[in-house]
Amino acid sequence: MKNFKIKLAYDGSKYKGWQVQNSTSDTIQGKLENILLKLTGSPVDVIGSGRTDAGVHAMGQIANFHIELADDMSPDQLMEYINRYLPEDIAVLSLKEVDERFHARFSANSKTYRYRIHTSKIPNVFERKYVYSYLDAKLDPDLMKEAAEHLLGKHDFKAFCGNKHMKKSTVRTLIDIKIEAIYDQYGLKEVLIDYTGDGFLQNMIRILTGTLIEVGNGRISKDAIPAILNSKDRAQAGFTAPACGLCLMDVYY
């Protein structure tokens, strides 16, 4: 058996997220497993670096799988084979053989997700499916940056966890939050937030983003963040920003 590591891009708009649920046809993992079953004749388990929610995109999801590969098929040919059968909204960007112990989830050290908030009064026609259209909203990126400082480091992020029945630890380390404001002739056009952390709870980035948006529009004080963290109460944090603005950018090993 050979162990292959792949890097994937997908437009998650149409999918119920990464992980196979009941049917295999509406998840990214399911699409890949169906193609590898067809190629090898046996069920293949494709291990992702983590789940992405329904509607979330990826430019750099990492996964691995173990298969017997015929001697006359090179890794490049395997990548082309998979891409030929994948739908047009999923693509394998690279594929290579790795050590048999490599595990896309357990071996991951950290990940970067990007959240895009489109704030111009002019809708973004060509990227509308990849941004949260918060049209003509007033956001103060400087307030958002100050609030983000309070989130950095190792914290119990229970207040930012979408799963109320989470029994495992909700302690995570946010290594970096980079906020970029882009302007056009009408003012603030887009706010990009890049989150890098050692792991993320369910909906965590979307709740962090909703909270930062509410700081940016003045509904939550930037100085309220430590109290929200300490409360460990989901109701104290901001809203869950929509999935369409979120994209998994990179996984680090």
The minimum distance between CB 184 and a second copy, in angstroms, equals: 9
Which residue, 129 or 232, has its beta carbon nearer to a second copy? 129
The encoded tokens of residue 90 equal 């999923």
Q: Is 80 in the site for a second copy (CB under 8 A)?
A: yes
Q: Which residues of 166-204 are buried (b: 16+ CB within 10 A; e: fewer)?
A: eeeebebebbebebebeeeeeebbbbbbbbbbebbbebb
Q: Which residues in the 89-108 window bind a second copy by CB under 8 A? A: 89-93
Residue recorded with tokens 């630890």: 169
The answer to whether residue 229 forms part of the interface with a second copy (CB under 8 A) is: no
Of residues 86 and 225, the one with the C-beta less far from a second copy: 86
- Which position among 65, 113, 115, 130 is part of the footprint of a second copy (CB under 8 A)? 130
- State the catalytic residue, choosing from 53, 76, 194, 250: 53
CA distances 177 to 63, 112, 132, 158, 253, Å, are 24, 9, 18, 18, 19
Query: First and final CA of the chain: distance in angstroms?
Result: 22
Q: Pick one of 125, 165, 168, 235: the residue that binds a second copy (CB under 8 A).
A: 125
Is 10 a binding residue for a second copy by CB under 8 A? The answer is yes
Among 3, 9, 182, 217, binds a second copy (CB under 8 A): 9
128 binds a second copy (CB under 8 A): yes
30: which residues sit within 8 A by CB, 6+ positions away?
20, 23, 24
In this structure, are residues 162 and 202 in contact, taking their beta carbons and an 8 Å threshold?
A: yes
The SS3 assignment for 14 reads helix
Report the alpha-carbon distance of residue 119 to residue 182 in Å, rounded.
10
Is position 134 an interface residue for a second copy (rule: CB under 8 A)?
no
- Cβ proximity to a second copy: between 127 and 149 the closer is 127
User: Residue 116 is encoded by which pair of tokens?
Assistant: 């895009």
182 in Cβ contact with 124 (< 8 Å): no
Under the binding rule (CB under 8 A), the answer on residue 132 touching a second copy is: no
Q: Does 183 help bind a second copy (rule: CB under 8 A)?
A: no
Tell me the C-alpha distance between 103 and 48, whole Å: 9
- Residue 84 beta carbon to a second copy: minimum distance, rounded to whole angstroms: 9
Residue 38: partners with Cβ closer than 8 Å, 6 or more residues away: 85
Is residue 15 close enough to count as binding a second copy by CB under 8 A? no
Interface with a second copy includes 123 (CB under 8 A)?
yes
Q: By rule CB under 8 A, what string of x and - marks binding of each residue 59-78 to a second copy?
A: x-------------------
Active site residue 53: yes
Work out how close the CB of 145 gets to a second copy at its nearest, in angstroms, rounded to a whole number.
Answer: 27
Residues identified as active-site: 53
| Binding residues for a second copy (CB under 8 A) | 9-11, 57, 59, 80, 83, 86, 88-93, 121-128, 130, 133, 136
